[in-house]
A and B are shown apart, each in its own frame.
Chain A
């Protein structure tokens, strides 16, 4: 069975600080996909990144960066120089590579509050 754990329920940081959101996953599949989604107060889930299990390269997109380590089954997300607009709930998710049934297993989310 697949499982995603986001141990940090809530995090608060002062604006401009860096913050890392942790994600640990469990799966027996050798091929799988990992995701991060942002859910602002308005409710919709906004896609941030997808990473497949064969690509362990870290990725940077503006102030966002992701660290994928298969050895520790972790896919952590760092926001550099945080801004108030980053305040949201962030979900890490896992999906097996079953085309036509890309079922997402979500973690319980981390509520991030950026204090101005």
Chain B
């Protein structure tokens, strides 16, 4: 049973053409994260939502935006993708609160920029 779902699994876009990646979860977790993972590198946190509160990492480019219309869904918008934005994008969720819990990751969306 899929718990963190990412669509599409593979996305091809053109240089400068806006693209949106989708993440949904069936866990009812209140915290959702977006990570960028470039080839042979560690995942790097872009931003996260704690409920509706948006938290941007200091070094996340302005080109990256996010929306969370409800608990289940979170979107990553790349306004003008560059060649350097080609990467795997991972969504993760966690039940934030008093107890520390592990993050559940989705399968990722591999973005290619032509």
Instruction: Report how far A42 CA is from B55 CA in the complex, Å.
Output: 29
Q: Mark A79-107, 1 if CB is under 8 A from B, else 0.
A: 00000000000010001010111111011
Majority DSSP secondary structure for residues of A touching B:
loop
Tally chain A residues at the interface, Cβ within 8 Å: 24
A109–B45 Cα distance when bound, in Å, is 15
Within 8 Å of chain B (Cβ to Cβ): is A50?
A: yes
Q: How far is the CA of A33 from the CA of B99 in the complex (A)?
A: 12
Q: List which B1-58 residues lie within 8 A (CB) of chain A.
A: 31, 40-45, 48, 50, 55
A9 to B102, CA, bound (A): 25
Contacting residues, chain B, for A106 (C-beta < 8 A): 42-44
Q: A44-B108, A91-B42, A91-B43 in contact; A102/B103 too (CB < 8 A)?
A: yes
Task: Spell out B's residues near A (CB within 8 Å).
Answer: 31, 40-45, 48, 50, 55, 88, 90, 92, 94, 96-98, 100-108, 110
